[in-house]
């Protein structure tokens, strides 16, 4: 549990892919015409999305870049920060990277080591499919419980300069066993981690669910959010009404359970819930399914981690 006093979200920039635009994702700063973004490979396209954001957000006060993505060994992050001449630090907690990076950056600012830093993350549908699943053009049938990686990139600038969006506190989650071996059912993998971190955050801060205007989980999807609610109900006798899931907000008209990916969660957080200014007290639970093809092929149960950030948005 960390308390922050002088950490503010001062700016953000969001890039989204064509399929996201088609499925009704609004308020992004830039929509790509096609998945390749005028590059030869999808990995380079993902890096270019990050680079575009960095170019928009970096100013002469930027002291640190923290971020990550889903490509092998953070290829996109490495390419996007190359030759930018600002210290950078890559991070990986699967889809929870958005929160772990934001918490790290906030800690740097709170401890007065830096005054301003940028968080960057991206996910690219084609690059993630190639790495985690099957070749892009291979029509491997997807079950209804599976989610689709969103093509998007999000950059957020944190600073000690006051703004209307304040990062108040955060709870770093603990990695736990989800008991699930099925990588298609990522909602079920992550729901248990989300429940654990939520309960832990509520216990430590001595708050209840009703103290928050909105509890936003990451990319549980339509299947995962039901499991999340049911687990809370059965295990802790809690019912949750002020809850949305970022992943389930995507692709409502398509057959998937929703979107996944590091950028999907951060995108919904800034473009929908922070942008609206409807909710003042937002508890953001970034959920991550820490699986890899090796881990799944060797028939392990999938570890999961969820990090929580509490933000306050003033009108």
Partner 1 sequence: MNKNKYLKIVKDLTPKEKKLENSALAFLMGGVLGFIAEGIKLLLVYNLHLTVKDATTWVLIIYILMASIFTALSFFDKLVMKYKCGLIVPITGFAHSITSSALDYKTDGLITGVGASFFKLAGCILLYGIVSAFFFAIIKVIIYV
Q: What would the two tokens of residue 77 be?
A: 């992050």
Shortest distance, position 226 Cβ to partner 1, whole Å: 5
Pick from 232, 297, 287, 291: nearest CA to 259: 287
Shortest distance, position 160 Cβ to partner 1, whole Å: 39
Q: What would the two tokens of residue 214 be?
A: 């909105």
Shortest distance, position 205 Cβ to partner 1, whole Å: 21
Note whether 277 and 315 are within 8 A (CB).
Answer: yes
Choice between 69 and 116, CB closer to partner 1: 69
Q: Which residues of the shown chain bind partner 1 in the complex (CB under 8 A)?
A: 40-41, 130, 134-145, 179-180, 185, 188, 191-192, 195, 223, 226-227, 230-231, 234-235
d(CA 14, CA 4) in angstroms, rounded, equals 25
């Amino acid at each position: 549990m960390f308390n922050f006093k002088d950490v503010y979200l001062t700016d953000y920039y969001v890039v989204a892919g064509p399929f996201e635009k088609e499925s009704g994702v609004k308020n992004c700063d830039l929509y790509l015409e096609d998945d390749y973004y005028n590059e030869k490979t999808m990995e380079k396209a993902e890096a270019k999305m990050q680079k575009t954001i960095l170019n928009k957000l970096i100013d002469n006060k930027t002291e640190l870049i923290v971020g990550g993505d889903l490509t092998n060994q953070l290829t996109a992050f490495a390419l996007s920060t190359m030759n930018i001449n600002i210290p950078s630090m890559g991070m990986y907690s699967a889809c929870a990277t958005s929160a772990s990076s934001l918490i790290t950056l906030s800690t740097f600012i709170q401890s007065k080591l830096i005054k301003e830093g940028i968080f960057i993350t991206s996910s690219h549908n084609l690059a993630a499919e190639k790495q985690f699943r099957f070749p892009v053009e291979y029509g491997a049938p997807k079950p209804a419980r599976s989610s689709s990686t969103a093509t998007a990139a999000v950059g957020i600038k944190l600073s000690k300069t006051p703004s209307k969006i304040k990062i108040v506190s955060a709870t770093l989650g603990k990695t736990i066993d989800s008991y699930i071996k099925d990588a298609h059912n990522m909602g079920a993998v992550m729901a248990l981690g989300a429940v654990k971190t939520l309960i832990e955050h509520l216990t430590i801060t001595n708050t209840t669910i009703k103290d928050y205007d909105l509890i936003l989980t990451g990319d549980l999807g339509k299947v995962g959010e039901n499991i999340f609610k049911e687990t809370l109900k059965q295990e802790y006798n809690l019912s949750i009404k002020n809850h949305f899931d970022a992943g389930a907000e995507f692709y409502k008209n398509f057959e998937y359970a929703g979107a996944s990916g590091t950028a999907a969660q951060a995108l919904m957080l800034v473009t929908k819930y922070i942008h609206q200014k409807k909710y003042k007290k937002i508890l953001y639970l970034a959920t991550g399914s820490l699986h890899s093809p090796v881990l799944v092929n060797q028939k392990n149960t999938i570890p999961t981690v969820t990090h929580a950030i509490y933000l306050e948005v003033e009108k």
